[in-house]
Amino acid sequence: LASQAEKPKVYKGLEGIYVTETRLSYIDGLHSKLYYVGYPIEALAKNSTYEEVAFLLYFLRLPRKDELDLFKALMAEARELPEDVLNVVKKMVSLKAHPMDILRTAVSYLAAYDPEVGVNTPESNLRKSLRILSKAPSIIAAMYRFSRNLDYIPPRKDLSHVENFLYMLHDKRPTEFETKVMDTIFILHAEHGMNASAFASLVTISTLSDIYSAVVSGIATLKGPLHGGAAEAAYYQFKEIGSPDKVEEWVQKALASKRRIMGMGHRVYKSYDPRAKIMRELDGEIAKIYGGEPKLLYEIAIKLEEVALREFAEKGRMDIQPNIDYYTPIAYTALGIPPEYFTTIFTASRIVGWTAKAMEYLKDPRLIRPLDLYVGELDKEYVPIDKRG
Ligand code: CMC
């Protein structure tokens, strides 16, 4: 065993470790910057659509009009779900499974219906990625409808990715504004460096497993409240506070009992998450247009941000700032999406990031196999079971 002096350094949480090179996204955590393939996130959120961003991440360039039309048609074509997958979703809904568990299981189950599941060529992996990406919203809409004893609404090919998703959820074509809000949410969640779920799916693909398995690993990891689950937790936090005038007291109590403010803090951003900034602005518009619960949530969020940042600053923690999950609950609520579904939407969007990363990694793969430092005893004597005290 290594002596104390020569003990290798353990990088707990793999903080500060680069595991691969990428052209997909770049986060400048000190200056509130995020880029996809070099394009600032603000420009994409303002001007682009989810399909265009997906194309960008898969092909590392923006599409021409004819290319985007074809890409959109291919995605629209792949939205249908096998009857059996719908039955699995229905069964899990009846068992009251969490939507993330249903989504993880349904994506895994879909693999059995993909004739190319065992084919590991770049072309096949792209086709499979597009299928998973296109079908995920159908799975989410199906569980939403079944859980409310409503009929499944089959997908439409003439609608955009997010328009169709909202249509399948609510059996109503969304307005232009609703479509814009959902497109923004999808664009902002599409890709984000080597976060925990991206790493989990990369570990899976590094064993030369398959794209479905990589996505399932990503979903399983995104579920946790320290990662994608933070938006749901932030929603309940706002509800627990109840009104803007309760914020002061709530923050004092929360920080005194070492509670974390959900939707704040980030491993990489030590400044304002640029995605949160975009969502905050959009939420301001939403609050004005919708009133009601979105407005109340928005007012609580704004007040909580003000008080929490003041408290953090007093402790010298100017690095703890709102992240994207802080401001999405307001938009989700306006779109009629209940909190237990928030992380599924993050997932539906992030599938593009996971699969683009997996395909990028497969161009020059290396088995991911780090080390753990053994700190127990060695050469212990084996004592037969009847002699153990
Ligand atoms: N509220 C209160 N204190 C906090 C918070 C917070 N949200 N975030 C960090 N801290 C403090 C805390 O005091 C902690 O000390 P301790 O270990 O004694 O509890 C210390 O800062 C850790 O700071 P750090 O080393 O900068 O944080 P980290 O890199 O280990 O954790 C984090 C990052 C996201 C897990 C954490 O900030 C957190 O738990 N935030 C709340 C959950 C959340 O919003 N997650 C969403 C992340 S962004 C979306 C995504 O990518 O999924």
Percent of the chain with pLDDT over 70: 99
Active site residue 31: no
Q: Predicted confidence band at 389 (pLDDT cuts at 50, 70, 90)?
A: confident
> How far is CA 4 from each of CA 39, 160, 262, 322, 372, rounded to the nearest angstrom?
47, 59, 38, 40, 16
Task: Choose among 147, 175, 144, 148: nearest CA to 159.
Answer: 175
Residue 345 in this model has a pLDDT that exceeds 80: yes
Q: What is the pLDDT of residue 3?
A: 65
Q: Which listed residue (266, 273, 283, 379) is catalytic? A: 266
Residue 172 in this model has a pLDDT that exceeds 70: yes
Q: Predicted confidence band at 140 (pLDDT cuts at 50, 70, 90)?
A: very high
Rounded to the nearest 10 degrees, what angle do helices 211-222 and 342-362 cross at? 140
For ligand 1, atom 49, which residue shows the shortest CA distance?
A: 227
* Residues framing ligand 1 (Cβ under 6 A): 195, 226-228, 230, 260-267, 320, 323-325
pLDDT tens for each residue of 57-76: 999 999 999 999 999 999 99
Distance 260 CA to ligand 1 centre (A): 7
User: What is the position in ligand 1's atom list of the atom closest to the CA of 259?
Assistant: 2
**How far is residue 109's CA from residue 168's CA, in Å, rounded to a whole number?**
21
**How many other CB atoms are found less than 10 A from the CB of residue 284?**
15
Phi-psi region of 26 (alpha: psi -120 to 50; beta: other; left: phi over 0): beta
Active site residue 84: no
Q: Predicted confidence band at 225 (pLDDT cuts at 50, 70, 90)?
A: confident
**How many other CB atoms are found less than 10 A from the CB of residue 339?**
17
Q: Average pLDDT of the chain? A: 96
For ligand 1, atom 23, which residue shows the shortest CA distance?
A: 265
Residue 288 in this model has a pLDDT that exceeds 90: yes
Element (H, E) at 330: helix 324-334
Residue 1 in this model has a pLDDT that exceeds 70: no
- Helix, strand and coil content of the chain, in percent to the nearest 5, comes to 60, 5, 35
User: What is the position in ligand 1's atom list of the atom closest to the CA of 222?
Assistant: 52
Q: Which pTM does this prediction carry?
A: 0.95
Percent of the chain with pLDDT over 90: 95
Q: Predicted confidence band at 215 (pLDDT cuts at 50, 70, 90)?
A: very high
**How far is residue 385's CA from residue 113's CA, in Å, rounded to a whole number?**
48
Q: Predicted confidence band at 349 (pLDDT cuts at 50, 70, 90)?
A: very high
Residue 5 in this model has a pLDDT that exceeds 80: no
The pick from 25, 199, 266 for probing ligand 1's pocket by mutation, whose C-beta has the most ligand atoms within 8 angstroms, reads: 266
Residue 323 in this model has a pLDDT that exceeds 80: yes
